[in-house]
């Protein structure tokens, strides 16, 4: 018999080509003469999506039939990055598709460039959520990601005159082939208004909420394919719409323009991602976004529960809800409200379900990032939730009082309501009380939570606390982004490391092998050549690929201390000016990252990098010695270009401030050596790779506290170190601002008078450590060996390991293998 492959599922080159041209014609409505590169991208994306759909439907069918226990991962951010390449990798069809499009005279890289990346996150927290979705699908763990379909993701960053300019990210403009709207599963979310007590027919006290406004949430589903498994899970993102009924009333009252106006304000809810990282501003619209996606998601889960014929009492068996920080913490009150007010459960029954279903991950130690909402604002938007929170608090504080009699101070510290001045609802406290599990994202971070930020909760509920060190997906951050290193790893140890990253250990045997070292070095050089070409195009600079690529890419923040890096660059510059024969390797300092639009000091830090770049890159004496590059618009796509080309990874936050870091892991996995403080996951990275393969400097977290307690005076360091003084003075007199002595004054004043992140205290040790880095880099064999060993010892930092830990300790979700049905 003749075998005919289905055009929507077949994987042979001939079928793929036919499907591709078919989609170009019937979906894009174009033929090759008229088609743009973007049309071709869309045709290819639909071709890949068809192949995902088969898995997606089989997966949904299996979970429905088996009533599988499911992780509901609630996150205000999912920083997914481009989908096409990643899906090709996970489906195992990258090479064959590359060949198929080449046969049609097209270039896969160029097509992938056409995709607008879904940048629905700020930084670490959002990207972690995306890595976890990949790992859950790869490990065949039933999961649903729930979040917001922001119409505008994180802003695009332009650099004009050395300064950041924000441009709206219209990522949906040309359509999104990776989503399926599901209008039939839309739900209503109430906002504002007031509550009324009443007695129901059986004489029970009940509460009814009469909202001021109702908003419709429409789900859009994105497929999440596992790596070479049949599993295809779902990321369900909610888009806000005005409900039809609402329009209708106003239409009938004749206020046509008013109706259109109201529609706009409803749709504002999912309009834009808040671009703040690690700072909470207490904005009403942000709280509205939080309740919006939380309520939509919980209603969706209750619908799924009912459709599977399960009782409400089985909610916590069917679902485990993971809160990605406190952004979805209102889940605690909303689940209580749904169970009691909409489904008639008693308080005790509802509380039992709620508190068995929810687990909370904390991602930050920054006090200004801890979310708290003015009680008035909260009550105006969510009157019923405020009542429920008061009741939770009342019962909670009763328990505390029983455990710790006569400790009113403790009650004040633990209360869900901050009453020290203006009254606030403390979202971290709500999350802690309402969950069965509380975790930090690295060993040190969890310890600091227990000793400091959540100390009182730890004393109350030690059994709830656990640590889950973050991880990153090797599919995106190695297989897709670094094909050269991937090929070499496959050639050396086979290709099973992709889903069993600890197998990289087997590389250790090769670390001393000269021919292996040579090949390893050549790969890094080729990757650096690619990035050098990119920098030539973007920044108009000629970069020597032999120079040490010293890279710091991450959000711009004072605690991350990009300006400490700059102080080192200026010091090196001064040294080279004073002693032109100084023996240091040529270096290229590479920066990238966005500053929150309202964070003036962070924006000044960007300006400073660019100011220093302008001077150094134009100084003929620095040619072939130093270059400074600020790469605009750091995003997932750019990250994938940068990590493979890095020699040195800058992880230099003040100890005790970076909860984990995940960029640190991506760099090391790609063979960069770290210079870093003992902060976040750096501690564990150093333990794994060995102290001799890691450049450590700086105060430890306990030393930071001790120094601050004893009274820190940055001025002493300024006066006591001539090189430091020279560096700061040169900024102050305008050397890096075309003679303008005002521009950087706020930045330098803050360092000299306050220096909350102890740059001046860590400066000397950092510069000394950088000298050792330079010397080590000059010994190529030694450096290459360190690079190989860093990769070989990165197994622990796969997000697969993190997810296995969550499954075992928190979620108790068995894997559900999927069989393909057609
Ligand atoms: C409400 C404003 C706001 C916005 C974002 C507060 C807090 C956040 C995030 C929690 C900030 C964040 O992304 N934290 C990062 O989370 C990563 C993943 O766990 C860690 O690796 C980073 O160290 C941490 O800064």
What confidence score (pLDDT) does residue 247 get? 56
pLDDT band of residue 252 (cuts 50, 70, 90) is low
Q: Could you give the percent of the chain with pLDDT greater than 70? A: 97
- Sort strands 673-676 and 319-324 into parallel, antiparallel or unpaired: unpaired
Residues 661/443, Cβ–Cβ less than 8 Å = no
Catalytic residue among 426, 475, 554, 657: 554
Helices in 503-648 by DSSP H: which ranges? 514-539, 562-578, 600-618, 636-642
pLDDT band of residue 263 (cuts 50, 70, 90) is low
Q: Which of 119, 124, 682 to mutate to test the pocket of ligand 1 (most atoms within 8 A of CB)?
A: 124
pLDDT at 260 over 70: no
Per-residue model confidence as pLDDT tens digits over 79-117: 999 999 999 999 999 999 999 999 999 999 999 999 999
**Encoding tokens for residue 22?**
């078919």
Pick the atom of ligand 1 nearest to 658's CA: 23
pLDDT at 259 over 70: no
Q: Kindly report the three-state secondary structure assignment for every residue of 480-544.
A: HCCHHHHHHHHHHHCCHHHCCHHHHHHHHHHCCCHHHHHHHHHHHHHHHHHHHHHHHHHHCCCCC
Of 3.40.50.2000, 3.10.105.10, 1.20.1250.20, 3.40.50.11720, the CATH number of 483-804 is: 3.40.50.2000
662 is catalytic: yes
> pTM value?
0.98
Sequence spans of domains, the chain: 1-66+90-113, 67-82+117-468, 483-804
7-18 average pLDDT score: 93
- Please state the length of the chain: 822
Rounded Cα distance, 27 and 24, in Å = 6
Rounded Cα distance, 340 and 779, in Å = 68
Residues 649/698, Cβ–Cβ less than 8 Å = no
Same CATH topology for 67-82+117-468 and 483-804: the answer is yes
369 lines ligand 1 (CB under 6 A): yes
Per-residue model confidence as pLDDT tens digits over 578-627: 999 999 999 999 999 999 999 999 999 999 999 999 999 999 999 999 99
363 is catalytic: yes
**Encoding tokens for residue 776?**
């080590």
Rounded Cα distance, 192 and 8, in Å = 47
User: For residue 627, what is the enclosing H or E element?
Assistant: strand 626-631
745 is catalytic: no
Does the interface ipTM go beyond 0.95?
yes
pLDDT at 531 over 60: yes
Catalytic residue among 55, 216, 363, 528: 363
Least confident of 103-107, 251-255, 292-296, 677-681: 251-255
365 lines ligand 1 (CB under 6 A): no
728 lines ligand 1 (CB under 6 A): no
For the chain, report the end-to-end CA distance as a whole number of angstroms: 19
SS3 content of the chain, % helix, strand, coil (to 5): 55, 15, 30
Pick the atom of ligand 1 nearest to 279's CA: 2
Output the CA torsion sign for 71, 74, 75, 80: positive
**Encoding tokens for residue 78?**
């999912």
pLDDT band of residue 278 (cuts 50, 70, 90) is confident
441 lines ligand 1 (CB under 6 A): yes
Hey, is 204 helix, strand or coil? coil
124 lines ligand 1 (CB under 6 A): yes
Ligand 1 mean position, distance from CA 126 (Å): 8
Per-residue model confidence as pLDDT tens digits over 22-71: 999 999 999 999 999 999 999 999 999 999 999 999 999 999 999 999 99
DSSP state of 470: -
Hey, is 341 helix, strand or coil? helix
Residue with tokens 């403080």: 677
Ligand 1 mean position, distance from CA 649 (Å): 20
pLDDT at 399 over 90: yes
- The beta-strand segments (E) located in 338-443 are 358-361, 372-374, 417-418, 424-426, 437-440
Per-residue model confidence as pLDDT tens digits over 404-452: 999 999 999 999 999 999 999 999 999 999 999 999 999 999 999 999 9
pLDDT at 687 over 90: yes
Task: Give the side-chain half-sphere CA count within 13 A for 557.
Answer: 22
Rounded Cα distance, 404 and 29, in Å = 71
pLDDT band of residue 257 (cuts 50, 70, 90) is confident
What confidence score (pLDDT) does residue 249 get? 58
Rounded Cα distance, 465 and 436, in Å = 9
Q: Which of 283, 325, 680, 806 to mutate to test the pocket of ligand 1 (most atoms within 8 A of CB)?
A: 325
What confidence score (pLDDT) does residue 287 get? 98
Work out the mean pLDDT of the chain and round it to a whole number.
Answer: 96
280 lines ligand 1 (CB under 6 A): yes
Which among 250, 253, 189 has a CA at the least distance from the CA of 217?
189
Torsion angles phi and psi, residue 28, rounded to 5: -85, -20
145 lines ligand 1 (CB under 6 A): no
708-713 average pLDDT score: 98
Ligand 1 mean position, distance from CA 83 (Å): 23
554 is catalytic: yes
Give residue 479's region: left, alpha or beta (phi > 0; psi -120 to 50).
alpha
Rounded Cα distance, 141 and 133, in Å = 9
What confidence score (pLDDT) does residue 592 get? 99
What confidence score (pLDDT) does residue 800 get? 99
- The beta-strand segments (E) located in 61-118 are 70-74, 78-79
pLDDT at 330 over 90: yes
Q: Which of 613-641 are b and which e, b meaning 16 or more Cβ less than 10 Å from the residue's Cβ?
A: bebbbeeeebeebbbbbbbbbbbbbbbbb
Helices in 675-756 by DSSP H: which ranges? 682-689, 701-710, 714-720, 722-732, 745-753
Per-residue model confidence as pLDDT tens digits over 344-356: 999 999 999 999 9
Give residue 217's region: left, alpha or beta (phi > 0; psi -120 to 50).
beta
Residue with tokens 């009650």: 411
pLDDT at 10 over 70: yes
Which among 706, 708, 686, 707 has a CA at the least distance from the CA of 697?
686
pLDDT band of residue 206 (cuts 50, 70, 90) is very high
Which among 619, 568, 627 has a CA at the least distance from the CA of 771?
568
Of 3.40.50.2000, 3.40.190.10, 3.40.50.2030, 3.30.300.30, the CATH number of 67-82+117-468 is: 3.40.50.2000
pLDDT at 262 over 70: no
Is residue 310 exposed (0-12), middle (13-18) or buried (19+ Cβ within 10 Å)? Answer: middle
In Å, what is the CA distance from 130 to each residue of 74, 145, 229, 357, 655? 12, 9, 18, 22, 26
């Amino acid at each position: 018999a003749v075998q005919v492959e289905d055009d929507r599922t077949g994987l042979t080159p001939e079928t793929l080509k036919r499907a591709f041209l078919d989609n170009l014609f019937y979906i894009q409505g174009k033929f090759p003469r008229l088609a743009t590169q973007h049309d071709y991208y869309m045709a290819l994306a639909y071709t890949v999506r068809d192949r995902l759909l088969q898995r997606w439907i089989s997966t949904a069918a299996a979970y429905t039939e088996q009533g599988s226990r499911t992780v509901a991962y609630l996150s205000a951010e999912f920083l997914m990055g481009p989908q096409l390449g990643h899906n090709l990798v996970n489906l195992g069809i990258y090479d064959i598709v590359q060949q198929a499009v080449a046969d049609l005279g097209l270039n896969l890289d160029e097509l992938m460039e056409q995709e607008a990346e879904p940048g629905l996150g700020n930084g670490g927290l959002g990207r972690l959520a995306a890595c976890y979705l990949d790992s859950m699908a790869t490990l065949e763990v039933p999961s649903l990601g729930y979040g917001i379909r922001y119409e505008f993701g994180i802003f695009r960053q332009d650099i004009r005159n050395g300064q950041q300019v924000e441009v709206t990210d219209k990522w949906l403009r040309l359509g999104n082939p990776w989503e399926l709207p599901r209008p039939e599963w839309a739900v209503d979310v109430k906002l504002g208004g007031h509550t009324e007590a009443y007695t129901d027919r059986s004489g029970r006290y009940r509460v009814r909420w009469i909202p001021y406004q109702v908003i419709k949430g429409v789900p859009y589903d994105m497929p999440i394919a596992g790596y070479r498994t049949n599993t295809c899970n779902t990321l369900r993102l909610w888009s806000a719409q005005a409900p039809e009924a609402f329009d209708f009333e106003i239409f009938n009252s004749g206020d046509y323009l008013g109706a259109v106006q109201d529609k706009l304000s409803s749709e504002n809810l999912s309009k834009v991602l808040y671009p703040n990282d690690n700072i909470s501003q207490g904005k009403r619209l942000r709280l509205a976004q939080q309740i919006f996606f939380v309520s939509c998601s919980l209603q969706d889960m209750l619908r799924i529960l009912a459709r599977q014929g399960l009782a409400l009492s089985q909610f916590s068996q069917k679902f485990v809800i993971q809160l990605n920080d406190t952004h979805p913490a209102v889940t605690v009150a909303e689940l209580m409200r749904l169970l009691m007010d909409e489904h008639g459960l008693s308080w005790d029954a509802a509380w039992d379900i709620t508190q068995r279903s929810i687990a909370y991950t904390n991602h930050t130690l920054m006090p200004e990032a801890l979310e708290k909402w003015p009680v008035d604002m909260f009550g105006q938007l969510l009157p019923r939730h405020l009542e429920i929170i008061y009741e939770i608090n009342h019962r909670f504080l009763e328990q505390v009082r029983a455990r710790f009699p006569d400790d009113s101070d403790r009650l004040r510290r633990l209360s869900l309501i901050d009453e020290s001045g203006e009254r606030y609802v403390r979202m971290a406290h709500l999350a802690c009380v309402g969950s069965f599990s509380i975790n930090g994202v690295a060993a040190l971070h969890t310890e600091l939570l227990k000793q400091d930020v959540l100390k009182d909760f730890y004393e109350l509920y030690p059994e709830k606390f656990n640590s889950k060190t973050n991880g990153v997906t090797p599919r995106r951050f190695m297989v897709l982004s670094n094909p050269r290193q991937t090929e070499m790893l496959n050639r050396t140890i086979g290709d099973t490391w992709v889903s069993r990253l600890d197998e990289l250990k087997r590389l250790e045997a090769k670390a001393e092998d000269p021919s292996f070292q040579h090949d390893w070095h050549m790969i890094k050089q080729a990757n650096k050549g690619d990035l050098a070409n990119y920098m030539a195009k973007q920044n108009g600079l000629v970069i020597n690929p032999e120079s040490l690529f010293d890279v710091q890419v991450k959000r711009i923040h004072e605690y991350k201390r990009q300006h400490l890096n700059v102080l080192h660059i200026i010091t090196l510059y001064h040294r080279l000016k004073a002693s032109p024969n100084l023996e240091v390797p040529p270096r290229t300092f590479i920066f990238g990252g966005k500053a929150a639009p309202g964070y003036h000091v962070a924006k000044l830090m960007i300006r400073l990098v660019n100011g220093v770049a302008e001077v150094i890159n134009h100084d003929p004496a620095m040619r072939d010695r130093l270059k400074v590059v600020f790469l605009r618009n750091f995003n997932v796509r750019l990250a994938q270009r940068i990590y493979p080309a890095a020699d040195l990874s800058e992880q230099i936050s003040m100890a005790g401030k970076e909860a984990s870091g995940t960029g640190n892991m991506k760099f090391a996995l790609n063979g960069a050596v770290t210079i870093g403080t003992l902060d976040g996951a750096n501690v564990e990275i150093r333990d794994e790779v060995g102290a001799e393969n890691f450049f450590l400097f700086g105060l430890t977290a306990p030393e930071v506290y001790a120094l601050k307690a004893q009274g820190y005076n940055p001025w002493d360091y300024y006066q006591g170190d001539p090189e430091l003084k020279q560096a700061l003075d040169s900024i102050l007199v305008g050397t890096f601002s075309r003679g303008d002595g005002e521009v950087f004054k706020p930045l330098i004043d803050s360092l000299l008078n306050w220096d909350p992140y102890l740059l001046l205290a860590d400066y000397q040790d950092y510069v000394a450590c950088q000298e050792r880095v330079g010397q080590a880099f000059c010994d190529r064999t030694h450096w290459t060996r360190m690079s190989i060993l860093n990769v070989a010892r990165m197994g622990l930092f796969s997000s697969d390991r993190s997810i296995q830990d969550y499954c075992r300790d928190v979620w108790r979700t068995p894997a559900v293998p999927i069989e393909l049905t057609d």
